[in-house]
Amino acid sequence: MSACHYNRMLNINLSGRRALVAGVADDGGFGFAIAKALAEAGASVCVGTWPPALNIFMNLLERGRMDESRKLSNGSLLAFERIYPLDAVFDTYGDVPEELRTSKRYRDVGDCSIDGLASRLVSDFGARPLDIVVHALANGPEVKNPLLETSRAGYLAALSASSYSLVSMLQRFGPLLRPDGAVASLTYMASERVIPGYGGGMSSAKAALECDTRLLAYEAGRKWGVRVNTVSAGPFASRAASAIGIIEKMVEYVARNAPLPEALKAEEVGRAMAFLCSPLASGITGTTVYVDKGFHTMGMQTL
């Protein structure tokens, strides 16, 4: 068998599979890169978008502002099968406060809860509509605060949006996944090492996410045959990451001190995620996969 033929056999093929990527609101972050990589592999892709960002996202798409970044290798444009409103801090529509439901950014989107999204997927595609679920969600309202200055409300909000949301999604999407389903999330090395400036309980939320990944892999694996993994991505200067306030310094520091001394590209995370969600990774579950140019291995700054 020639090397060329062998490489073709190992191409990631997600044809006939449907993915949901929760946490896509623009073309500048990991969520978009993951959606694009899944589409490159042949999957149909639905996305969940935070309601306050939904109209802006839709307008950018409709006006062609994302056409360049949507280009796939075959010359076509990445097309989302569905774009759903999703606020993953709410398990059910009843959990959404009335003042938020009636606010300008929420009143026209309907049930944007996790349960509501599950119901919409079943309504649109049938009883078991999904093969892949990607959790690309994180938010900490006090992320700029040191942990010693973080309020209880801010700390719990970080865990709710960034880690418990995965638990809630698996509760509701697990039964919707077809055989050999895969679930994956995004984490960060602050879960295990001190990253000054990454505060507000976000480091704790990422630690919880990684711990939950292991337990959910066991429970969802036994219950539905679903694999659950997480990707620990290096720092990347997305629009969302700008909320940290020091993201450029984080990127520069890692690029200078990693074994591969270069900045991480979003598409590198996207490709790793596509692999983890593909049949090529059928034996991998409960695992944190580092995509950070090897920075997590370092114990000392370059001299």
For 144-163, what is each residue's pLDDT tens digit? 999 999 999 999 999 999 99
- Provide the token pair at 6: 């062998």
E strand or H helix that includes residue 80? strand 80-85
- Domain residue spans of the chain: 18-293
Q: pTM of the prediction?
A: 0.94
Label residue 8 by pLDDT band (50, 70, 90): low
The per-residue pLDDT for 229 is: 98
Catalytic residue list contains 188 = yes
Which residues on adjacent β-strands are paired with residue 179?
Answer: none
Region 221-227: mean pLDDT is 98
Q: Which of 117, 49, 32 is nearest to 83 (CA)?
A: 49
Q: Note the pLDDT of residue 247.
A: 82
Average pLDDT score over residue span 21-40:
96
Tokens of 58: 């839709």
198 is catalytic: yes
Structure-token match 């074994």, residue found: 259
CB 49 within 8 A of CB 57: yes
Q: Give the separation between CA 288 and CA 281, rounded to whole angstroms.
A: 13
Annotated active-site residue in 164, 198, 218, 290: 198
| CA dihedral of residues 193, 200, 57, 169 (deg, nearest 10) | 80
Q: What is the pLDDT of residue 180?
A: 96
Mean pLDDT across 13-34: 96
Contact by Cβ (8 Å): 40, 69: no
Which carries the bigger pLDDT value, residue 135 or residue 11? 135
Question: What pLDDT shows up at residue 9?
Answer: 66
**Per-residue pLDDT reduced to its tens digit, 184-196:** 999 999 999 999 9
- Per-residue pLDDT band at 302 (split at 50, 70, 90): low
**229-287 confidence digits (pLDDT tens):** 999 999 987 777 677 777 888 889 999 999 999 999 999 999 999 999 999 999 999 99
Question: Among all chains, which residue has been given the structure tokens 């073309």?
Answer: 27
For 21-31, b/e burial (b = at least 16 CB within 10 A) is bbbbbbbbbbb
What is residue 235's DSSP assignment? P
What is the average per-residue pLDDT within 102-127? 97
Supply the CATH classification number for the domain 18-293.
3.40.50.720
| pLDDT reported for residue 1 | 45
Q: CA 202, CA 295: separation in Å to the nearest integer? A: 20
Higher pLDDT, 168 or 1: 168
Question: How many angstroms separate the CA atoms of 278 and 301, rounded?
Answer: 36
Write the burial class of residue 153 (CB in 10 Å: 0-12 exposed, 13-18 middle, 19+ buried).
Answer: exposed
Q: What is the mean pLDDT of residues 42-62?
A: 96
- Among 6, 84, 188, 290, the active-site one is 188
State which amino acid sits at residue 143.
V
User: Is the model's pLDDT at 200 over the cut of 70?
Assistant: yes
Report helix angle 266-276 to 30-40, nearest 10. 50
Predicted local distance difference test score (pLDDT) of residue 282 = 97
Which pLDDT band, with edges at 50, 70 and 90, does 140 fall under?
very high
Residue 158 identity: A
